[in-house]
């Protein structure tokens, strides 16, 4: 009859997960993934949004926990960093230093707008507007805005290597 008892033909059976020849198993191959441009932009925007949330929280803590010139300077610098982060979020493909110029111009425009007296009127109707528009002009604020934006641009450039 020619039948062999006690032997089997296991050479044709291959395990699925790493117990055989790993070079033939596609599940075990390490394929380097390259993020697409859209994925990089999305990742950058998520990072910028997370940083903006942290800056808002920090700014509120500084506003309510400190008094005096140092507290005002730090609060103003954090405000400018937030403007820089929001501009970076919108202009995600733009160089950080160009975004910094836009942020400084925006902050300067808001500070000069305070000379008109309109921000005080708006804050009287809608009190949270004073956080965005301010209420009184101060040249020292311009220095704090510039310093905050330049530090934020330097950190962003260093992290992203523009």
* pLDDT of 55 strictly over 70: yes
pTM: 0.74
Which tokens go with 161?
């290597």
* pLDDT of 27 strictly over 80: no
What is the average per-residue pLDDT within 123-138? 90
Which tokens go with 112?
């000069």
Give the pLDDT score at 2.
55
Q: Residue 93 burial (CB < 10 Å; 0-12/13-18/19+)?
A: exposed
Residue 95 three-state SS = coil
Let me know if residue 2 belongs to a domain. Answer: no
- pLDDT > 70: what percent of the chain? 77
Let me know if residue 111 belongs to a domain. Answer: yes
Confidence of residue 109 (pLDDT cuts 50, 70, 90): very high
* pLDDT of 110 strictly over 60: yes
Confidence of residue 162 (pLDDT cuts 50, 70, 90): very low
d(CA 100, CA 98): 5
Let me know if residue 27 belongs to a domain. Answer: no
Give the 3-state DSSP-derived string for 102-125, with helices as H, strands as E and coil as C. Answer: HHHHHHHHHHHHHHHCHHHHHHHH
Q: How far is CA 75 from the centre of its chain?
A: 19
Which tokens go with 119?
């921000």
Let me know if residue 3 belongs to a domain. Answer: no
Which residues, including other chains, have CB under 8 Å from residue 149's CB and lie 6 or more apart?
80, 81, 83, 84, 100, 103, 104, 107
Give the pLDDT score at 146.
97
* pLDDT of 70 strictly over 60: yes
Let me know if residue 22 belongs to a domain. Answer: no
Let me know if residue 9 belongs to a domain. Answer: no
Give residue 82's domain range: 35-160
Nearest to 118 by CA among 103, 107, 134: 134
Let me know if residue 98 belongs to a domain. Answer: yes
Beta carbons of 158 and 124 less than 8 angstroms apart: no
Question: How many structural domains are present in the chain?
Answer: 1
Site of tokens 């400084």: 104
Let me know if residue 60 belongs to a domain. Answer: yes
Give the pLDDT score at 151.
96
What is the average per-residue pLDDT within 97-123? 95
Give the pLDDT score at 32.
60
Q: Residue 84 burial (CB < 10 Å; 0-12/13-18/19+)?
A: buried
Give the pLDDT score at 131.
83
Confidence of residue 18 (pLDDT cuts 50, 70, 90): low
- pLDDT > 90: what percent of the chain? 58
* pLDDT of 31 strictly over 70: no
């Amino acid at each position: 009859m020619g039948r062999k008892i006690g032997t089997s033909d296991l050479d044709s059976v291959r395990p699925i997960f790493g117990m055989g020849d790993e070079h033939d198993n596609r599940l075990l191959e390490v394929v380097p993934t390259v993020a697409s441009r859209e994925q990089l932009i999305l990742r950058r925007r998520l990072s910028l949004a997370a940083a903006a949330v942290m800056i808002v929280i920090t700014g509120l803590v500084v506003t309510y926990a400190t008094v005096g010139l140092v507290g005002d300077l730090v609060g103003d610098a954090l405000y400018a960093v937030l403007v820089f982060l929001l501009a970076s979020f919108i202009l995600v493909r733009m160089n950080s230093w160009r975004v910094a110029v836009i942020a400084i111009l925006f902050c300067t425009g808001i500070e000069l707008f305070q000379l008109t007296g309109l921000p005080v009127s708006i804050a009287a109707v809608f009190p949270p507007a004073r956080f965005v528009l301010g209420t009184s002009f101060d040249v020292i604020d311009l220095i704090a805005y510039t310093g905050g934006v330049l530090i934020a641009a330097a950190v962003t450039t260093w992290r992203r290597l523009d």
